[in-house]
Chains A and B, each alone.
Chain A
Amino acid sequence: MALRSRTPSLFRPKRPVDQGVLAEHRTLVADIDRRGVLRGAVSLGALTLLTGCDVTEEEPVQKVLRAVSSWNDGVQEALFRPGHMAPTFSPAQVVKPPRFNAHFDVEDVKPVDGASWKLELAGLIADKRPWTAPQLYALPEQEIIIRHVCVEGWDYIGQWSGPNLRGFLQRVGADLTAKYVYFHCADDYTESIDMAAALHAQTILATRYANEIIADPFGYPLRLRTSTKLGYKNAKWVKAIEVTNTFTETFWSEQGFNWFAGI
Protein backbone atom coordinates (compact mmCIF):
# COMPACT_ATOMS: atom_id res chain seq x y z
CA MET A 1 0.00 0.00 0.00
CA ALA A 2 2.65 2.43 -1.06
CA LEU A 3 1.62 6.03 -0.42
CA ARG A 4 3.04 8.03 -3.28
CA SER A 5 3.52 11.74 -3.24
CA ARG A 6 1.30 13.55 -5.70
CA THR A 7 2.63 13.83 -9.19
CA PRO A 8 4.32 17.18 -9.79
CA SER A 9 2.29 19.30 -12.16
CA LEU A 10 2.48 22.62 -13.95
CA PHE A 11 -1.04 23.26 -12.76
CA ARG A 12 -0.24 22.77 -9.11
CA PRO A 13 1.76 25.84 -8.06
CA LYS A 14 4.43 25.34 -5.40
CA ARG A 15 3.61 28.68 -3.78
CA PRO A 16 0.07 29.76 -2.83
CA VAL A 17 -1.84 32.02 -5.16
CA ASP A 18 -1.25 35.78 -4.71
CA GLN A 19 -4.04 37.00 -2.44
CA GLY A 20 -3.53 40.63 -3.55
CA VAL A 21 -5.64 40.14 -6.65
CA LEU A 22 -8.48 38.82 -4.54
CA ALA A 23 -8.26 41.80 -2.17
CA GLU A 24 -8.44 44.20 -5.12
CA HIS A 25 -11.63 42.65 -6.45
CA ARG A 26 -13.24 41.86 -3.12
CA THR A 27 -16.43 43.82 -3.86
CA LEU A 28 -16.90 42.08 -7.17
CA VAL A 29 -16.33 38.68 -5.57
CA ALA A 30 -18.79 39.52 -2.79
CA ASP A 31 -21.35 40.44 -5.42
CA ILE A 32 -20.94 37.10 -7.13
CA ASP A 33 -21.09 35.39 -3.75
CA ARG A 34 -24.49 36.88 -3.07
CA ARG A 35 -25.99 35.06 -5.98
CA GLY A 36 -26.98 31.85 -4.32
CA VAL A 37 -27.92 30.21 -7.56
CA LEU A 38 -24.51 30.81 -9.00
CA ARG A 39 -22.88 29.45 -5.89
CA GLY A 40 -24.99 26.32 -6.16
CA ALA A 41 -24.08 25.98 -9.79
CA VAL A 42 -20.39 26.31 -8.98
CA SER A 43 -20.48 23.51 -6.41
CA LEU A 44 -22.52 21.31 -8.70
CA GLY A 45 -20.07 22.07 -11.46
CA ALA A 46 -17.22 21.10 -9.19
CA LEU A 47 -18.88 17.73 -8.61
CA THR A 48 -19.66 17.04 -12.23
CA LEU A 49 -16.23 18.06 -13.45
CA LEU A 50 -14.86 14.92 -11.85
CA THR A 51 -12.94 16.79 -9.20
CA GLY A 52 -14.07 14.21 -6.69
CA CYS A 53 -10.45 14.18 -5.59
CA ASP A 54 -10.96 17.60 -4.10
CA VAL A 55 -14.43 17.01 -2.66
CA THR A 56 -13.64 13.71 -0.98
CA GLU A 57 -11.43 15.10 1.72
CA GLU A 58 -13.85 17.87 2.70
CA GLU A 59 -15.03 17.35 6.26
CA PRO A 60 -18.77 16.89 5.56
CA VAL A 61 -18.08 14.47 2.69
CA GLN A 62 -15.71 12.44 4.85
CA LYS A 63 -18.34 12.36 7.61
CA VAL A 64 -20.89 10.80 5.27
CA LEU A 65 -18.43 8.37 3.65
CA ARG A 66 -17.03 7.22 6.99
CA ALA A 67 -20.54 6.82 8.40
CA VAL A 68 -21.38 4.52 5.46
CA SER A 69 -18.10 2.66 6.05
CA SER A 70 -19.13 2.01 9.70
CA TRP A 71 -22.56 0.91 8.52
CA ASN A 72 -20.77 -1.50 6.19
CA ASP A 73 -18.86 -2.84 9.23
CA GLY A 74 -22.22 -3.85 10.70
CA VAL A 75 -23.36 -5.42 7.45
CA GLN A 76 -20.14 -7.44 7.24
CA GLU A 77 -20.54 -8.57 10.84
CA ALA A 78 -24.01 -9.85 9.93
CA LEU A 79 -22.66 -11.61 6.81
CA PHE A 80 -19.89 -13.33 8.77
CA ARG A 81 -20.33 -17.11 9.03
CA PRO A 82 -18.37 -18.21 12.14
CA GLY A 83 -18.30 -21.89 11.19
CA HIS A 84 -17.57 -21.36 7.50
CA MET A 85 -14.02 -22.19 6.46
CA ALA A 86 -12.07 -20.30 3.81
CA PRO A 87 -10.84 -22.45 0.91
CA THR A 88 -7.48 -24.08 1.63
CA PHE A 89 -4.82 -25.07 -0.86
CA SER A 90 -2.06 -27.61 -1.42
CA PRO A 91 1.59 -27.02 -0.43
CA ALA A 92 2.46 -27.04 -4.16
CA GLN A 93 0.49 -23.81 -4.62
CA VAL A 94 2.35 -21.90 -1.91
CA VAL A 95 4.27 -18.83 -3.05
CA LYS A 96 7.78 -18.62 -1.59
CA PRO A 97 8.77 -16.24 -0.19
CA PRO A 98 5.48 -14.54 0.63
CA ARG A 99 4.76 -11.17 -0.95
CA PHE A 100 6.06 -8.27 1.11
CA ASN A 101 3.65 -5.50 2.05
CA ALA A 102 3.79 -2.82 4.71
CA HIS A 103 3.42 0.92 5.08
CA PHE A 104 7.14 1.23 4.26
CA ASP A 105 9.59 -0.37 1.85
CA VAL A 106 11.22 -3.72 2.46
CA GLU A 107 14.66 -2.17 2.97
CA ASP A 108 13.25 -0.14 5.86
CA VAL A 109 12.20 -3.20 7.86
CA LYS A 110 13.64 -3.01 11.39
CA PRO A 111 14.22 -6.62 12.44
CA VAL A 112 12.95 -7.60 15.88
CA ASP A 113 15.51 -9.21 18.23
CA GLY A 114 13.91 -12.57 18.97
CA ALA A 115 16.09 -13.24 22.02
CA SER A 116 14.90 -10.20 23.96
CA TRP A 117 11.42 -10.07 22.39
CA LYS A 118 8.40 -10.75 24.57
CA LEU A 119 4.72 -10.90 23.77
CA GLU A 120 2.93 -8.66 26.26
CA LEU A 121 -0.70 -9.22 27.19
CA ALA A 122 -3.11 -6.47 28.21
CA GLY A 123 -6.76 -5.70 28.84
CA LEU A 124 -9.39 -8.31 29.71
CA ILE A 125 -6.94 -11.18 30.16
CA ALA A 126 -6.58 -13.09 33.46
CA ASP A 127 -2.96 -14.22 33.10
CA LYS A 128 -0.96 -11.28 31.77
CA ARG A 129 2.49 -12.85 32.10
CA PRO A 130 4.48 -12.09 28.93
CA TRP A 131 5.50 -14.88 26.56
CA THR A 132 8.97 -15.49 25.12
CA ALA A 133 9.48 -16.91 21.62
CA PRO A 134 10.57 -20.39 22.84
CA GLN A 135 7.47 -20.57 25.07
CA LEU A 136 5.26 -19.83 22.06
CA TYR A 137 7.13 -22.34 19.87
CA ALA A 138 6.36 -24.99 22.52
CA LEU A 139 2.58 -24.53 22.06
CA PRO A 140 0.66 -26.89 19.76
CA GLU A 141 0.84 -25.66 16.17
CA GLN A 142 -1.82 -25.38 13.52
CA GLU A 143 -1.05 -25.04 9.83
CA ILE A 144 -3.25 -23.21 7.33
CA ILE A 145 -2.65 -22.81 3.60
CA ILE A 146 -4.88 -19.90 2.68
CA ARG A 147 -5.25 -17.05 0.24
CA HIS A 148 -3.94 -13.65 1.25
CA VAL A 149 -6.12 -10.94 -0.31
CA CYS A 150 -4.77 -7.40 -0.33
CA VAL A 151 -7.16 -4.46 -0.45
CA GLU A 152 -5.20 -3.29 -3.50
CA GLY A 153 -6.38 -6.30 -5.47
CA TRP A 154 -3.49 -8.80 -5.53
CA ASP A 155 -3.49 -12.16 -3.81
CA TYR A 156 -1.24 -15.16 -3.18
CA ILE A 157 -1.39 -18.52 -1.44
CA GLY A 158 0.57 -18.74 1.79
CA GLN A 159 1.36 -21.54 4.23
CA TRP A 160 1.29 -20.36 7.82
CA SER A 161 1.67 -22.16 11.13
CA GLY A 162 1.59 -21.30 14.81
CA PRO A 163 -0.70 -21.47 17.82
CA ASN A 164 -4.43 -21.09 17.17
CA LEU A 165 -5.56 -17.70 18.51
CA ARG A 166 -8.73 -19.03 20.11
CA GLY A 167 -6.74 -21.68 21.97
CA PHE A 168 -4.19 -19.08 23.04
CA LEU A 169 -6.86 -16.66 24.31
CA GLN A 170 -8.48 -19.49 26.28
CA ARG A 171 -5.10 -20.52 27.72
CA VAL A 172 -4.37 -17.03 29.08
CA GLY A 173 -7.91 -16.60 30.39
CA ALA A 174 -9.05 -13.84 28.03
CA ASP A 175 -12.63 -12.63 28.19
CA LEU A 176 -14.00 -14.23 25.03
CA THR A 177 -17.18 -12.16 25.29
CA ALA A 178 -15.19 -8.93 24.81
CA LYS A 179 -15.64 -7.12 21.51
CA TYR A 180 -12.15 -6.62 20.14
CA VAL A 181 -8.66 -8.06 20.06
CA TYR A 182 -5.95 -5.45 19.42
CA PHE A 183 -2.47 -6.11 18.12
CA HIS A 184 0.26 -3.60 18.91
CA CYS A 185 3.32 -3.95 16.74
CA ALA A 186 7.03 -3.16 16.84
CA ASP A 187 6.63 -0.84 13.84
CA ASP A 188 4.08 1.30 15.74
CA TYR A 189 1.33 -0.34 13.74
CA THR A 190 -1.92 -1.18 15.46
CA GLU A 191 -4.64 -3.37 14.10
CA SER A 192 -7.70 -4.92 15.68
CA ILE A 193 -10.24 -7.55 14.77
CA ASP A 194 -13.66 -8.37 16.15
CA MET A 195 -13.87 -11.25 18.63
CA ALA A 196 -15.83 -13.42 16.18
CA ALA A 197 -12.92 -13.31 13.71
CA ALA A 198 -10.40 -13.86 16.55
CA LEU A 199 -12.25 -17.05 17.53
CA HIS A 200 -12.53 -18.34 13.96
CA ALA A 201 -10.84 -21.72 13.49
CA GLN A 202 -8.54 -20.30 10.76
CA THR A 203 -7.09 -17.50 12.87
CA ILE A 204 -3.59 -18.16 14.17
CA LEU A 205 -0.59 -16.45 15.70
CA ALA A 206 1.82 -17.40 12.96
CA THR A 207 5.46 -18.15 13.78
CA ARG A 208 6.33 -20.10 10.63
CA TYR A 209 5.91 -19.72 6.89
CA ALA A 210 6.26 -22.81 4.69
CA ASN A 211 7.66 -24.68 7.73
CA GLU A 212 10.46 -22.16 8.31
CA ILE A 213 10.58 -19.52 11.05
CA ILE A 214 8.98 -16.39 9.53
CA ALA A 215 11.64 -14.11 8.03
CA ASP A 216 12.08 -10.51 9.24
CA PRO A 217 10.17 -8.73 6.44
CA PHE A 218 7.10 -10.88 7.02
CA GLY A 219 6.68 -10.35 10.75
CA TYR A 220 9.33 -12.28 12.73
CA PRO A 221 8.82 -13.49 15.40
CA LEU A 222 5.02 -13.31 15.52
CA ARG A 223 2.24 -12.13 13.29
CA LEU A 224 -1.49 -12.60 12.98
CA ARG A 225 -2.86 -14.67 10.11
CA THR A 226 -6.60 -14.97 9.66
CA SER A 227 -8.41 -16.30 6.62
CA THR A 228 -11.37 -13.97 7.12
CA LYS A 229 -9.77 -10.53 6.79
CA LEU A 230 -7.96 -8.45 4.18
CA GLY A 231 -4.16 -8.42 4.31
CA TYR A 232 -3.76 -5.22 6.31
CA LYS A 233 -5.63 -6.66 9.30
CA ASN A 234 -2.91 -9.31 9.70
CA ALA A 235 -0.54 -7.41 11.97
CA LYS A 236 3.16 -8.26 11.72
CA TRP A 237 5.92 -7.98 14.38
CA VAL A 238 3.27 -8.24 17.11
CA LYS A 239 4.58 -7.22 20.52
CA ALA A 240 1.35 -6.97 22.51
CA ILE A 241 -2.16 -8.42 22.41
CA GLU A 242 -4.96 -6.54 24.12
CA VAL A 243 -8.53 -7.75 24.66
CA THR A 244 -10.96 -4.88 25.12
CA ASN A 245 -14.47 -3.53 24.66
CA THR A 246 -13.20 -0.10 23.73
CA PHE A 247 -12.90 0.76 20.07
CA THR A 248 -9.98 2.89 18.99
CA GLU A 249 -9.07 3.64 15.38
CA THR A 250 -6.28 1.53 13.94
CA PHE A 251 -3.38 2.40 11.64
CA TRP A 252 -5.39 2.12 8.41
CA SER A 253 -8.92 2.83 9.65
CA GLU A 254 -7.68 6.21 10.88
CA GLN A 255 -6.68 6.96 7.30
CA GLY A 256 -10.09 6.07 5.96
CA PHE A 257 -9.81 2.38 5.18
CA ASN A 258 -12.69 0.18 6.26
CA TRP A 259 -12.14 -1.14 9.80
CA PHE A 260 -13.94 -4.51 9.59
CA ALA A 261 -12.20 -5.44 6.31
CA GLY A 262 -13.75 -8.90 6.21
CA ILE A 263 -13.44 -11.09 3.15
Chain B
Amino acid sequence: MSAAPVKSLTRNTASKLRQLHPLPLRIMHWTNAIAIFIMIGSGWKIYDDDVIFGWLHFPDFLTIGKWAQHGLQWHFFGMWIFVLNGLAYLAYGVATGRFRRKLFPISVREILAAVGDALRFRLGHDDLTHYNAVQKILYLGVILAGIVIVISGLALWKPVQFSELAALFGSFQNIRLVHFFCMAAIVGFLLVHISLALLVPQSLVAMLTGGPVVRDDAMPGADAAADVPSTPSR
Protein backbone atom coordinates (compact mmCIF):
# COMPACT_ATOMS: atom_id res chain seq x y z
CA MET B 1 0.00 0.00 0.00
CA SER B 2 2.43 2.61 -1.17
CA ALA B 3 -0.38 5.03 -1.90
CA ALA B 4 -1.50 5.79 1.61
CA PRO B 5 -5.25 6.02 1.88
CA VAL B 6 -6.21 9.67 1.79
CA LYS B 7 -9.38 8.93 3.71
CA SER B 8 -8.99 11.72 6.20
CA LEU B 9 -9.37 10.82 9.81
CA THR B 10 -10.72 13.57 11.96
CA ARG B 11 -8.69 12.44 14.97
CA ASN B 12 -5.74 14.51 13.84
CA THR B 13 -7.01 17.34 11.72
CA ALA B 14 -3.69 19.10 11.34
CA SER B 15 -2.43 16.86 8.59
CA LYS B 16 1.31 17.22 8.48
CA LEU B 17 4.08 15.98 6.24
CA ARG B 18 7.09 14.63 8.03
CA GLN B 19 9.88 12.17 7.59
CA LEU B 20 9.17 8.50 8.30
CA HIS B 21 11.68 8.59 11.17
CA PRO B 22 11.88 12.16 12.50
CA LEU B 23 15.21 13.30 13.93
CA PRO B 24 14.30 12.92 17.66
CA LEU B 25 13.26 9.35 16.97
CA ARG B 26 16.50 8.54 15.17
CA ILE B 27 18.55 10.02 18.01
CA MET B 28 16.60 7.94 20.54
CA HIS B 29 16.95 4.82 18.40
CA TRP B 30 20.74 4.99 18.21
CA THR B 31 21.10 6.09 21.84
CA ASN B 32 19.06 3.05 22.74
CA ALA B 33 21.25 0.86 20.55
CA ILE B 34 24.32 1.96 22.52
CA ALA B 35 22.53 1.55 25.87
CA ILE B 36 21.26 -1.95 24.99
CA PHE B 37 24.75 -2.94 23.86
CA ILE B 38 26.21 -1.82 27.21
CA MET B 39 23.41 -3.40 29.26
CA ILE B 40 23.58 -6.79 27.55
CA GLY B 41 27.38 -7.05 27.53
CA SER B 42 27.73 -5.97 31.16
CA GLY B 43 24.69 -7.99 32.22
CA TRP B 44 26.31 -11.14 30.82
CA LYS B 45 29.44 -10.35 32.84
CA ILE B 46 27.36 -10.04 36.02
CA TYR B 47 25.43 -13.22 35.16
CA ASP B 48 28.68 -15.17 34.78
CA ASP B 49 29.60 -14.50 38.42
CA ASP B 50 26.73 -16.71 39.58
CA VAL B 51 25.10 -18.47 36.65
CA ILE B 52 21.39 -19.28 36.72
CA PHE B 53 21.74 -22.21 34.30
CA GLY B 54 24.70 -24.50 34.76
CA TRP B 55 24.98 -25.01 31.01
CA LEU B 56 25.04 -21.32 30.19
CA HIS B 57 28.17 -19.27 30.71
CA PHE B 58 28.82 -16.27 28.47
CA PRO B 59 32.35 -16.32 27.03
CA ASP B 60 34.57 -13.45 28.17
CA PHE B 61 34.90 -11.97 24.70
CA LEU B 62 31.14 -11.36 24.60
CA THR B 63 31.04 -9.56 27.93
CA ILE B 64 31.90 -6.01 28.91
CA GLY B 65 34.32 -5.39 31.76
CA LYS B 66 37.33 -7.36 32.91
CA TRP B 67 35.98 -8.43 36.31
CA ALA B 68 32.51 -8.55 37.84
CA GLN B 69 32.89 -5.07 39.37
CA HIS B 70 33.50 -3.59 35.93
CA GLY B 71 30.41 -5.32 34.58
CA LEU B 72 28.47 -3.82 37.49
CA GLN B 73 29.99 -0.38 36.86
CA TRP B 74 28.93 -0.49 33.21
CA HIS B 75 25.48 -1.85 34.06
CA PHE B 76 24.73 0.88 36.61
CA PHE B 77 26.07 3.49 34.18
CA GLY B 78 24.15 2.17 31.16
CA MET B 79 20.91 1.91 33.12
CA TRP B 80 20.61 5.69 33.26
CA ILE B 81 20.92 6.00 29.49
CA PHE B 82 18.54 3.11 28.89
CA VAL B 83 15.87 4.31 31.34
CA LEU B 84 15.99 8.05 30.56
CA ASN B 85 16.09 7.46 26.81
CA GLY B 86 13.36 4.82 27.13
CA LEU B 87 11.09 7.19 29.04
CA ALA B 88 11.69 9.89 26.44
CA TYR B 89 10.84 7.38 23.70
CA LEU B 90 7.60 6.25 25.39
CA ALA B 91 6.55 9.86 26.00
CA TYR B 92 7.37 10.74 22.38
CA GLY B 93 5.54 7.71 21.00
CA VAL B 94 2.39 8.52 22.94
CA ALA B 95 2.49 12.32 22.54
CA THR B 96 3.09 12.34 18.78
CA GLY B 97 0.69 9.47 18.13
CA ARG B 98 3.46 7.42 16.56
CA PHE B 99 2.57 4.31 18.57
CA ARG B 100 -1.09 4.67 17.57
CA ARG B 101 -0.24 5.15 13.91
CA LYS B 102 2.50 2.54 13.58
CA LEU B 103 1.60 -0.22 16.01
CA PHE B 104 -2.20 -0.18 16.18
CA PRO B 105 -4.70 -1.49 15.45
CA ILE B 106 -3.56 -5.06 15.58
CA SER B 107 -5.80 -8.11 15.28
CA VAL B 108 -5.26 -11.80 15.92
CA ARG B 109 -6.44 -12.68 12.40
CA GLU B 110 -3.96 -10.26 10.93
CA ILE B 111 -1.13 -11.69 13.03
CA LEU B 112 -1.93 -15.28 12.07
CA ALA B 113 -2.06 -14.38 8.38
CA ALA B 114 1.21 -12.50 8.58
CA VAL B 115 2.94 -15.29 10.51
CA GLY B 116 1.79 -17.74 7.84
CA ASP B 117 3.20 -15.50 5.16
CA ALA B 118 6.42 -15.03 7.06
CA LEU B 119 6.92 -18.78 7.36
CA ARG B 120 6.48 -19.11 3.60
CA PHE B 121 8.90 -16.20 3.09
CA ARG B 122 6.15 -14.20 1.43
CA LEU B 123 5.73 -11.48 4.01
CA GLY B 124 5.87 -8.04 2.42
CA HIS B 125 8.65 -6.02 3.99
CA ASP B 126 9.26 -3.56 1.18
CA ASP B 127 7.02 -0.70 2.24
CA LEU B 128 9.02 1.00 4.96
CA THR B 129 6.17 3.32 5.88
CA HIS B 130 3.95 0.47 6.96
CA TYR B 131 4.48 -2.22 9.58
CA ASN B 132 2.95 -5.63 8.94
CA ALA B 133 1.32 -7.50 11.81
CA VAL B 134 4.46 -9.46 12.65
CA GLN B 135 6.46 -6.28 12.90
CA LYS B 136 3.79 -4.69 15.05
CA ILE B 137 3.75 -7.61 17.46
CA LEU B 138 7.56 -7.73 17.59
CA TYR B 139 7.88 -4.01 18.27
CA LEU B 140 5.13 -4.09 20.89
CA GLY B 141 6.72 -7.18 22.43
CA VAL B 142 10.18 -5.66 22.67
CA ILE B 143 8.79 -2.45 24.18
CA LEU B 144 7.01 -4.58 26.77
CA ALA B 145 10.21 -6.58 27.45
CA GLY B 146 12.04 -3.25 27.87
CA ILE B 147 9.51 -2.10 30.46
CA VAL B 148 9.53 -5.39 32.38
CA ILE B 149 13.32 -5.58 32.35
CA VAL B 150 13.47 -2.16 34.02
CA ILE B 151 10.84 -3.08 36.61
CA SER B 152 12.56 -6.38 37.43
CA GLY B 153 15.90 -4.55 37.44
CA LEU B 154 14.58 -2.12 40.05
CA ALA B 155 13.36 -5.03 42.17
CA LEU B 156 16.77 -6.75 41.87
CA TRP B 157 18.64 -3.59 42.76
CA LYS B 158 16.40 -2.69 45.72
CA PRO B 159 14.60 -5.81 46.99
CA VAL B 160 14.33 -4.18 50.43
CA GLN B 161 13.58 -0.52 49.64
CA PHE B 162 11.11 -1.69 46.97
CA SER B 163 10.06 -4.80 48.88
CA GLU B 164 6.42 -4.34 47.82
CA LEU B 165 7.50 -4.51 44.17
CA ALA B 166 9.90 -7.40 44.81
CA ALA B 167 7.11 -9.35 46.54
CA LEU B 168 5.17 -9.46 43.25
CA PHE B 169 7.83 -11.80 41.85
CA GLY B 170 7.58 -14.33 44.68
CA SER B 171 11.27 -14.88 45.39
CA PHE B 172 14.53 -13.06 44.76
CA GLN B 173 15.66 -15.73 42.29
CA ASN B 174 12.39 -15.30 40.38
CA ILE B 175 13.27 -11.64 39.85
CA ARG B 176 16.58 -12.74 38.35
CA LEU B 177 14.75 -15.19 36.08
CA VAL B 178 12.32 -12.54 34.84
CA HIS B 179 15.21 -10.12 34.25
CA PHE B 180 17.06 -12.87 32.39
CA PHE B 181 14.12 -13.87 30.17
CA CYS B 182 13.44 -10.24 29.25
CA MET B 183 17.08 -10.04 28.17
CA ALA B 184 16.65 -13.25 26.17
CA ALA B 185 13.53 -11.80 24.50
CA ILE B 186 15.39 -8.60 23.62
CA VAL B 187 18.35 -10.57 22.24
CA GLY B 188 15.94 -12.69 20.19
CA PHE B 189 14.31 -9.54 18.86
CA LEU B 190 17.70 -8.06 18.00
CA LEU B 191 18.68 -11.12 15.97
CA VAL B 192 15.57 -10.72 13.80
CA HIS B 193 15.69 -6.92 13.79
CA ILE B 194 19.34 -6.67 12.76
CA SER B 195 19.10 -9.50 10.18
CA LEU B 196 16.13 -7.84 8.51
CA ALA B 197 17.74 -4.40 8.64
CA LEU B 198 20.69 -5.91 6.76
CA LEU B 199 18.43 -7.80 4.34
CA VAL B 200 16.43 -4.64 3.58
CA PRO B 201 19.21 -2.06 3.68
CA GLN B 202 16.91 0.86 2.85
CA SER B 203 15.34 0.39 6.30
CA LEU B 204 18.76 0.89 7.87
CA VAL B 205 19.38 3.94 5.67
CA ALA B 206 16.00 5.34 6.68
CA MET B 207 16.90 5.08 10.35
CA LEU B 208 20.02 7.13 9.59
CA THR B 209 18.64 9.70 7.14
CA GLY B 210 14.99 9.82 8.16
CA GLY B 211 13.55 8.01 5.17
CA PRO B 212 10.74 9.08 2.87
CA VAL B 213 8.33 11.90 3.65
CA VAL B 214 4.97 10.59 4.78
CA ARG B 215 1.64 12.09 5.72
CA ASP B 216 1.40 12.21 9.44
CA ASP B 217 -2.27 11.31 9.74
CA ALA B 218 -2.53 8.99 6.77
CA MET B 219 -1.85 5.70 8.49
CA PRO B 220 -4.37 4.94 11.20
CA GLY B 221 -7.75 3.30 11.05
CA ALA B 222 -7.66 2.57 7.36
CA ASP B 223 -4.69 0.29 7.98
CA ALA B 224 -6.61 -2.67 9.29
CA ALA B 225 -8.56 -2.92 6.08
CA ALA B 226 -5.74 -1.91 3.80
CA ASP B 227 -3.26 -4.21 5.42
CA VAL B 228 -4.56 -7.64 4.47
CA PRO B 229 -4.62 -7.15 0.69
CA SER B 230 -1.15 -5.63 0.86
CA THR B 231 0.38 -8.95 1.85
CA PRO B 232 1.23 -10.64 -1.44
CA SER B 233 -0.19 -14.06 -0.73
CA ARG B 234 -3.76 -13.04 -0.04
Contacts and interface: CB of A to CB of B under 8 A. Distances in A.
Contacts, number: 102
Given A50-B61, A68-B80, A263-B158, A152 B69 contact: no
A24 to B, nearest CB: 31
A118 interface: no
B165 to A, nearest CB: 12
Interface string A80-100: 110010110000000000000
B93 interface: no
A57 B69 CA distance: 11
A257 B64 contact: no
B70 A263 contact: no
- Contact residue range for chain A? 35 or more
Interface in B52-103: 52, 60-70, 72-74, 76-77, 80
Q: How large is the interface on B (under 10, 10 to 19, 20 to 34, 35 or more residues)?
A: 20 to 34
Contacts of A57: 66, 70
Nearest to A48: B37
Nearest to A64: B77
Interface stretch (A31-39, A109-117, A121-129, A143-151): A143-151
A53 B73 CA distance: 12
B172 A149 contact: yes
Contacts of A152: 49-50, 68
Given A84-B160, A258-B76, A262-B158, A3 B67 contact: yes
B159 interface: yes
A256 B161 contact: no
A256 B69 contact: yes
A72 interface: yes
Given A65-B74, A154-B50, A258-B72, A53 B159 contact: no
Interface of B: 41-42, 46-47, 49-50, 52, 60-70, 72-74, 76-77, 80, 157-161, 163, 167, 172-173, 176
5 contacts: A53-B63, A65-B74, A69-B73, A84-B161, A150-B50
